[in-house]
A and B are shown apart, each in its own frame.
Chain A
Amino acid sequence: MNWITKMFSSSLGQKLIMALTGLFLCSFLIIHMVGNLQLFKHDAGLAFNKYAVFMTTNPLIKTTSYLLYAAILFHAFKGIALVFQNKKARPVKYQAFDGKANSHWSSRNMGILGTIILVFIAVHMSNFWWQYKFGTVPYTRYTENIQTGEIQSDYMPDNFTMNSKMEEQSEGLMKVTIVKDLFRSVELGFKEIWLVALYIIAMAALSFHLYHGFKSAFQTMGLNHKKYNGAINFIGIGVFAILIPIGFAAMPLYFFIK
């Protein structure tokens, strides 16, 4: 046991924790992005609501999601602790400090960027995750014509409730689905301009966090070689600093404008 605690309490080991949890969070962002793209479907939210049920009932995914919450907390608190530890390493500041001459802005502000993301995660989770799990999310009945693909949606009365999140029934050509309507919470939530603004700011912060963070994690794990640095940079910038933040920012904007 001793060598493990020794390794993870060394400066290199603490950085390894940041890198491993950070990359785990990156893998989650991909899944979250792909799933949420269903918000853009013109089906009154049926596919998205079914996906929400799947994500919150499948035992494998539920287990992974608890690992994910732990990783977020661990990454955030370790990250902030490292910021303070690193400040202690320079008790007297420079009067003149020209950081931009030798390093990228985002690499010097990972703590601030991360804190913005943390605030965002807290608001985001209490808005949707908490409401879905513990609050009252209304139900909607979808009637889908299997042949034509036509979907009709009707809101259930606000006081309607049932034991499960979703029930499906087929009557001839008609498939009836009654499901917790998280899509409606999303639609309503993103009519608030301050919430949309928070999302956009947070996604900008995420972009800068990952512009540095993704490739930094590989350096921390000892992976830096001209054979694959190009690929790491390409994915880090193209996917994690550009595509993912733009994709997530597009969702609140889409509902705000719609």
Chain B
Amino acid sequence: MSGNMNINLKVWRQKNGKSQGKLVDYKVEGVSPDMSFLEMFDVLNDRLVSEGKDEPIAFDHDCREGICGMCSMYINGRPHGPNQGVTTCQLHMRSFKDGDTIVVEPWRAAAFPVIKDLAVDRSAFDRIIASGGFISVNTGNAQDANSLPIPKDNADEAFAAAACIGCGACVAACKNSSAMLFVSAKVSQLALLPQGDPERNTRVLNMVAQMDTEGFGACTNTGACSAECPKEISLTNIARLNREYFAAQLGSDRS
């Protein structure tokens, strides 16, 4: 086919969490520019399976439409590759050139241990959410939406924060492996809405404590997280997380 490309991949291969990993070279030929980055990996894996010499490369993916957050790949030094505001499944090979060498690594963080190859264990995020990223709603009939007035600005900001898909690119991009952007997105979403208000103090205190327990680093405000976030979660959320946290420590009975 004309216009197709040959790509040189260097992919991190690692049998399991305990073994040593290394970068392995693969040549993928006849790549269509319209393929997604994951589809290129499908082509490569098909070949590896049919050759039977090498195990297929393990990588996470699910929706392939930019909403589940599973497709964690650290591509040429950046999470989700070179483009702004997209996940790996939304990255297309037309963003690369024929003959390019592309280095693909897993997310790197003590809190995200490698399971195999490019797949990492992100359950630390689940435990952070379980520690407070929810509202407790008693069962019963749904109340009339209009009886809960929410300023439009707050609704918009909460909605923007709620767009976080828990992909972990923020952690992967941050030189400190800090999870501040992720935590701040959830804390902000709920702090901005009346439904989140009753638990706001315990929520922020517990989520920060869990974040620290999981071994994520401390934020130095480099801004790499927001720059690489596929949902473009804003740094103002991190400022709000700081405010919420210090307000809860200084102004509530809890600690």
Contacts and interface: CB of A to CB of B under 8 A. Distances in A.
Interface stretch (A58-66, A81-89, A199-207, A233-241): A81-89
Interface string A1-42: 011001100111111100000000000000000000000000
Contacts of A6: 249, 255
Contacts of B77: 94, 96-99, 101
B91 to A, nearest CB: 14
A90 B249 contact: no
A12 B78 contact: no
Interface string B51-79: 00000000000000000000000101110
B76 A96 contact: yes
Given A12-B242, A94-B105, A99 B221 contact: no
Contact of B216 (A89, A93, A104, A219): A89
Nearest to B221: A216
A212 B176 CA distance: 16
Size range of the chain B interface in the assembly: 35 or more
A89 B239 contact: no
Contacts of B240: 222
Q: Which of A10, A90, A110, A222 has the most CB of B within 10 A?
A: A90
A3 B255 CA distance: 5
Interface in B172-211: 173, 175-178, 208-209, 211
B168 to A, nearest CB: 13
Q: Tell me what chain B mostly uses at the interface: helix, strand, loop, or mixed.
A: mixed
Contacts of A7: 246, 249-250, 255
Given A89-B177, A97-B77, A11 B219 contact: yes
Q: Tell me what chain A mostly uses at the interface: helix, strand, loop, or mixed.
A: helix
Contacts of B173: 102
Size range of the chain A interface in the assembly: 35 or more
B208 A10 contact: yes
A160 B223 CA distance: 58
A89 B176 contact: yes
Contacts of B110: 88-91
B128 interface: no
A190 B147 CA distance: 72
Interface string A207-250: 00000100110011111110000000000000000000000000
6 contacts: A3-B249, A82-B218, A89-B111, A90-B176, A96-B76, A216-B221
